[in-house]
Amino acid sequence: MKSICLAQSLLIRACRLAACVTLFASTSLAQVEDFDSIKLYTLKNESGMTVRATNYGAIITSIIVPDRNGDLADVALGYDRVEDYINAVDKPYFGAVVGRYGNRIAKGEFTLDGETYSLLKNNGENHLHGGAIGFDKVVWTVDEYVEGKSLALSYLAKDKEEGYPGNLQVKVTYTLADDNSLIVDYHATTDKATPVNVTQHTYFNLKGEGEGTILDHELMLNAKMFTPVDETLIPTGEMLAVAGTPFDFTIAKAIGRDIGQQDEQLTFGLGYDHNWILDKGGKEGELSLAAQVREPSSGRVMEIYTTEPGIQFYSGNFLDGTLPSKNKGMYQHRTGFCLETQHYPDSPNQKNFPSVRLNLGEKYNSKTVFRLSAVSK
């Protein structure tokens, strides 16, 4: 397939499915293969929630939900134009599915079955979110679109793509339920042993994207332990209790309450950018509550359930006013947060962490549910 330079203004044209539109970009220096196949899909339920996603990067571009008064707002950070996702400064991964390995791998290498694999170092001396062209930077195949209800996407990551072994067939399905649950199912198979850790990287602001900081959002994490990191944000291998530290979110508190404390871990992350070890209650691999976030002024609440053993809480520390928002402003410092369900960072190099190895003949299955609601004062 030939590369097509992006040189047109954003157009929306109807497809046979009313909710499906084709996106074209305006001026851009990037090139994308099969650009004409990039489309936007809409999921909408009876409760007033709308989710839009594209097959470029399996990106969720917007999540529109009502507040306690029924007023709608888009609570997902992102862009209106596809080329902004392609050429985003600092690659924030807005709304994307990241992989083959979400999060960091130390020094861009790991050893599997006696063979050492070298990966691109795209985060200082480390490898981050699958490399320069991870799952967030490719066009996915649309396997099935059930109008307004679900979207199934697949991608074949080839052997040695971004340095990883094995041909990995990945499928991601977004389903919107009438209880305002966005269900994300991940499945994968491989023809050779490989590490797999796929996650969703949406930035949230429950006030509405572009509506100020997230520091007053009240967060609860169902986790009594976390994995501390070194100055490059690679886990040290320890698993420490959160009690008595700024990392204790076992009882809901404002994100900004302790973020400015003098703490080495907060210094390393420039805020929160760490993995919490979820309390699974002996039910590893089963769907369980991971987090709850409440935004006081709107009454919006988000609960996250997952089969994964960990969750990365990132407090938008690297948002710095250089990225345009959908409401014509700029995304300022800490105006969005991520809660990325996952296996732990650098697990391929950390033998005491849960395994991320997927073998020939095995199936990778993971599920995360984002449930939105609103409560009265």
Under 8 Å between Cβ of 133 and 227: no
Q: What is the mean pLDDT of residues 322-335?
A: 92
pLDDT surpasses 80 at 13: no
Instruction: Choose the weakest-confidence range: 35-39, 62-66, 97-101, 292-296.
Output: 35-39
Find the helix or strand (DSSP H, E) in which 5 lies. strand 3-7
Domains within the chain, CATH numbers bracketed: 213-374 (2.70.98.10)
- Residue 202 has φ and ψ, to the nearest 5°, of -70, 135
Q: Are strands 141-146 and 127-128 parallel, antiparallel or unpaired?
A: unpaired
The residue-averaged pLDDT of 281-289 equals 91
28 pLDDT above the threshold of 80: no
DSSP state string for 16-35:
SSTT-EEE---EEEEEEETG
CA distance 181 to 369: 6
Tell me: the pLDDT tens digits for 206-249? 999 999 999 999 999 999 999 999 999 999 999 999 999 999 99
Pseudo-torsion of CA 115, 121, 122, 123, nearest 10°?
110
Q: Is the pLDDT of residue 23 over 90?
A: no
Q: Catalytic residue numbers? A: 201, 340
Q: pLDDT digit string (tens) for 333-369? A: 999 999 999 999 999 999 999 999 999 999 999 999 9
**Is 18's pLDDT higher than 80?**
no
For residue 65, the surrounding DSSP H or E stretch is strand 60-66
List the strands of the sheet with 60-66, edge to edge. 12-14, 21-23, 39-44, 50-54, 60-66, 72-74
Sequence length of the chain is 377
pLDDT for residue 7 is more than 90:
no
Tell me the C-alpha distance between 158 and 198, whole Å.
16
The span from the CA of 308 to the CA of 286, in Å, is 8
- Predicted local distance difference test score (pLDDT) of residue 83: 85
- Tokens found for residue 358: 């997927």
**Is 172 in a helix, a strand, or coil?**
strand
Beta strands in 158-217 (DSSP E): 168-176, 181-190, 194-195, 199-200
* pLDDT higher than threshold 60 for residue 47: yes
Tally of CB atoms within 10 A around 77: 27
pLDDT at 37 over 90: no
- Model's pTM, two decimal places? 0.91
Among 285, 302, 309, CA closest to 369: 302
Predicted pLDDT at 30: 38
Taken in order 56, 39, 336, 225, the sign of the CA dihedral is negative
In this structure, how many other beta carbons lie within 10 angstroms of the beta carbon of residue 359?
A: 11
**pLDDT confidence bin for 1, thresholds 50/70/90:** very low
pLDDT at 33: 62
pLDDT tier for residue 34 given thresholds of 50, 70 and 90: low
Q: Please tell me the predicted confidence (pLDDT) of residue 20.
A: 36
Number of H helices, E strands in the chain: 2, 32
**Tokens at residue 317, please?**
């520390």
pLDDT on residue 24: 29
**Is the bond preceding residue 100 a cis peptide, omega within 30 degrees?**
yes
Q: How crowded is the C-beta side of 151, counted as CA atoms within 13 Å?
A: 26
pLDDT digits (tens, 9 = 90+) for 91-140: 899 999 999 999 999 999 999 999 999 999 999 999 999 999 999 999 99
Chain mean position to CA 253: 23
